[in-house]
């Protein structure tokens, strides 16, 4: 399966510093299959016009593609209605939209938002901005030494002031998969809302918002084989209806006068300005690509690669893996005794191997594990065992230098 799949990703066949590229930074962004790149070119060559505004042929074609993409996303995450799919620039903008607009609608001074110690900064800082504006309280849920959410501690954090719980589905560092369905039941029993950051789950496993029982969910196209600059905020219709617009401008209005402006219906109320209609279509093509391969097939392949990499890395003396829960996604964060992760990353790069090093936009998590940074190898549907062997071999070479 791998050779034909790798041929779909021309970028993977290049050399870096005279070595075949081994791209293991997929949690930061995935590479794009030919079909996605070609969809972008084709749209600019044949179907480019601004959407929703024109009566002319091209504008209608572009609008149809954009709205078909919304429906494609709806189907992919099994939302009830396409109007529950708001296009954003990515996960970060989706969470900022929620914190700003949802913060206005649902949160008052003294109300509490629960996040966790394993959150990406994009699921921490927007809530801190809201804290500055409205005086909400942010309560971080601790995690265990294995990197699991501490469910008993979570249960204890709820008070009558808890309004919202905002958690990642999958940690971008530990790979931990949080039990969202179980958490949703807990959250709703307390009369609160649940927002899920699915940036690291959508690329790897089936995400079904109805089955998960979440109220909001966000993800980024570029981490799921789609283009940069497009992402999604899903929200339950009844909740989105209560939220004020996020930005003002074209597209999001019904009528405008200097005295009074009325807003467009969902989801356009949240989509001010010209949307990334080329990106939305290319995202739909990326989702097609994943579904054509089969989400279960992708997940099974990545499971094999992750297990293999875990086993091989574990044989390296002094190597510690962070995040050792049983249900873990295709990412391995680690440190090697006596080698700074930045040195490791830099030296591996000279051998053609792209990993990520640093705090991974999760400084509180680094603090939790008492480290400044970690190295991280993250996998995708095109990652091969041979690449894992190259990683391990290269780490062994680097170790001999220290
Ligand atoms: N949440 C998680 C868990 C992530 O891994 C990332 C990206 N590293 C983000 C949010 C932010 O995504 P984006 O930069 O695409 O907005």
What confidence tens digit (pLDDT) does each residue in 280-304 have? 999 999 999 999 999 999 999 999 9
Position 103 pLDDT exceeds 80: yes
Interval between CA 219 and ligand 1 midpoint (Å): 8
Round the CA-based radius of gyration of the chain to a whole number and report it. 22
* The pLDDT of residue 123: 98
30 lines ligand 1 (CB under 6 A): no
Give pLDDT, residue 3.
77
Judge if the beta carbon of residue 96 lies within 6 A of ligand 1.
Answer: no
pTM exceeds 0.85 for this model: yes
199 touches ligand 1 (CB under 6 Å): yes
Instruction: Give yes or no for residue 200 CB within 6 A of ligand 1.
Output: yes
d(CA 28, ligand 1 centre) in Å: 8
Q: Which residues of 357-396 are buried (b: 16+ CB within 10 A; e: fewer)?
A: bbbbbbeebbebbeeebbbbbbbbbbbbeebbebbbebbe
Question: From atom 8 of ligand 1, which residue's Cα is the shortest distance away?
Answer: 28
**Nearest residue CA, atom 6 of ligand 1?**
199
Mean pLDDT computed over every residue of the chain:
97
Give pLDDT tens digits for 348-364.
999 999 999 999 999 99
CA dist., res. 140 & res. 148, Å (int): 14
Tell me: pLDDT of 1 over 70. no
Q: H/E element holding 356?
A: strand 356-358
pLDDT at 246: 96
Which residues are CB-contacts of 1 (< 8 A; sequence separation ≥ 6)? 297, 301
Q: What's the pLDDT at 185?
A: 98
At CB < 8 A and 24+ separation, what contacts does 271-275 make? Answer: 271/86, 271/87, 272/245, 272/246, 272/247, 272/248, 273/247, 273/249, 274/50, 274/51, 274/250, 275/51, 275/66, 275/87, 275/251
pLDDT band per the 50, 70, 90 thresholds, residue 327: confident
How far apart, in Å, are the Cα atoms of 146 and each of 143, 150, 205, 279?
8, 10, 22, 38
For the CA atoms of 50, 54, 55, 59, the dihedral, rounded to the nearest 10 degrees, stands at 0
């Amino acid at each position: 399966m791998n050779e034909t799949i790798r041929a779909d990703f021309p970028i993977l066949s290049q050399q870096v510093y005279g070595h075949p590229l081994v791209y293991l930074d997929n949690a930061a962004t995935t590479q794009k299959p030919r079909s996605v790149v070609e969809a972008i070119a084709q749209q600019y060559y044949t179907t480019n016009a601004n959407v929703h505004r024109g009566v002319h042929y091209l504008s209608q074609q572009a609008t149809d593609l954009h709205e078909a993409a919304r429906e494609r996303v709806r189907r992919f995450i099994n939302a009830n209605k396409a109007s529950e799919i708001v296009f954003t620039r990515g996960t970060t903008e989706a969470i900022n939209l929620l914190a700003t607009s949802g913060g206005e609608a649902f949160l008052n001074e003294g109300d509490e938002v629960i996040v966790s110690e394993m959150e990406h900064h994009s699921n921490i800082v927007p809530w801190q901005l809201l804290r500055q504006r409205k005086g909400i309280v942010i309560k971080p849920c601790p995690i265990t030494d294995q990197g699991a959410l501490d469910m008993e501690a979570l249960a204890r954090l709820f008070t009558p002031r808890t309004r919202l719980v905002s958690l990642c589905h999958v940690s971008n560092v530990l790979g931990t998969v949080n039990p969202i369905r179980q958490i949703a039941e807990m959250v709703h029993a307390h009369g609160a809302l649940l927002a899920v950051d699915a940036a690291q789950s959508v690329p790897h496993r089936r995400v079904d918002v109805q089955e998960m029982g979440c109220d909001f969910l966000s993800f980024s196209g570029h981490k799921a084989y789609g283009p940069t600059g497009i992402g999604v905020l899903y929200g339950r219709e009844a909740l989105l209806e209560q939220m004020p617009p996020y930005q003002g401008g074209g597209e999001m209005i019904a009528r405008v006068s200097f005295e009074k402006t009325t807003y467009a219906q969902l989801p356009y109320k949240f989509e001010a300005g010209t949307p990334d209609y080329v990106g939305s279509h290319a995202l739909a093509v990326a989702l097609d690509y994943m579904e054509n391969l089969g989400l279960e097939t992708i997940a099974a392949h990545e499971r094999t690669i992750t297990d293999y990499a875990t086993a091989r890395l574990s044989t390296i003396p002094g190597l510690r893996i962070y995040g050792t829960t049983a249900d873990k996604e295709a990412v391995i964060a680690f440190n090697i005794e006596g080698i700074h992760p930045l040195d490791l990353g830099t030296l591996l790069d000279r051998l053609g191997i792209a990993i990520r090093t640093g705090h991974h936009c999760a400084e509180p998590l680094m603090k939790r594990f008492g480290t400044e940074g970690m190295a991280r190898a993250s996998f995708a549907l095109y990652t091969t065992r041979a690449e894992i062997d190259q990683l391990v071999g290269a780490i062994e070479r680097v170790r001999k230098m220290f």
